[in-house]
């Protein structure tokens, strides 16, 4: 059984120079050598959904199907696995990243996640949208420093 995990960073740029950067993770599993391709597809879908704020209509048809969690069954978060190139300098072929030279991939991921949540909180309107952002924030909590998480929770409370 082949397994692969892929991290993708996407940037949506405006002609004014403003941009949003999103980090997405994709996992793939296959009996053949297609695990990496499936992981890339999954990461690309998540990246586009997060960049464009789209809701997923259905899951990947090739993904492993699991039973929906019932009252006694809970989904477990997959363990965070660092990329195989952790610790190596990251380059951006599209231009300067405005990042400090000593920023690790984990720090960059945390910075991007926090930045995206600030944008989502600012653009959310209505109780349902704020509830979705709150649930998504709880799912991403493992990637966010406690001080940033507290600030995001305070921003959600102020918006409500």
Residue 160 scores a pLDDT above 60: yes
Q: Give ∠ CA 4-6-7 in degrees, rounded to 5.
A: 160
How far is the C-alpha of 95 from the C-alpha of 9, rounded, in Å?
Answer: 13
Residue 77 scores a pLDDT above 60: no
Looking at residue 58, what is its pLDDT? 55
CB 32 within 8 A of CB 2: yes
**112: three-class secondary structure by DSSP:** helix
Contacts of 59 (CB under 8 A, 6+ apart): none
Share of the chain above pLDDT 70, in %: 70
Residue 76 scores a pLDDT above 80: no
| Dihedral of the alpha carbons of 90, 22, 52, 69, in degrees to the nearest 10 | 130
Looking at residue 92, what is its pLDDT? 46
Contacts of 135 (CB under 8 A, 6+ apart): none
* Cβ atoms < 10 Å from Cβ of 30: 17
Residue 143 scores a pLDDT above 60: yes
Looking at residue 79, what is its pLDDT? 52
Residue 86 scores a pLDDT above 50: no
Q: Could you report the per-residue pLDDT of 20-34, keeping only the tens digit for each?
A: 888 888 899 988 888
Q: Report the DSSP pairing between strands 19-30 and 2-13.
A: antiparallel
Q: Which residue has the higher pLDDT, 9 or 89?
A: 9
Band of residue 85 on the pLDDT scale cut at 50, 70, 90: very low
Does the pTM surpass 0.75? The reply is no
Q: Could you report the per-residue pLDDT of 146-157, keeping only the tens digit for each?
A: 888 888 888 888
**39: three-class secondary structure by DSSP:** helix
Contacts of 40 (CB under 8 A, 6+ apart): 6, 8, 26, 28
Name the average pLDDT for the chain: 74
CB 28 within 8 A of CB 8: no
């Amino acid at each position: 059984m082949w397994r692969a995990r892929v991290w993708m960073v996407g940037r949506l740029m405006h002609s004014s120079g403003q941009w949003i950067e999103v980090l997405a993770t994709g996992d793939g599993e296959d009996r053949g050598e297609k695990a990496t391709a499936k992981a890339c597809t999954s990461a690309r879908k998540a990246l586009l959904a997060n960049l464009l704020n789209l809701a997923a209509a259905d899951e990947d048809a090739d993904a492993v199907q699991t039973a929906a969690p019932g009252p006694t069954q809970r989904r477990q978060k997959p363990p965070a696995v660092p990329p195989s190139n952790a610790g190596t300098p990251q380059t951006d072929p599209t231009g300067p990243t405005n990042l400090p030279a000593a920023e690790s991939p984990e720090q960059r991921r945390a910075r991007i996640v926090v930045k995206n949540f600030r944008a989502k909180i600012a653009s959310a309107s209505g109780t349902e949208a704020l509830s979705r952002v709150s649930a998504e924030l709880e799912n991403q909590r493992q990637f966010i420093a406690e001080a940033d998480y507290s600030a995001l929770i305070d921003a959600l409370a102020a918006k409500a």
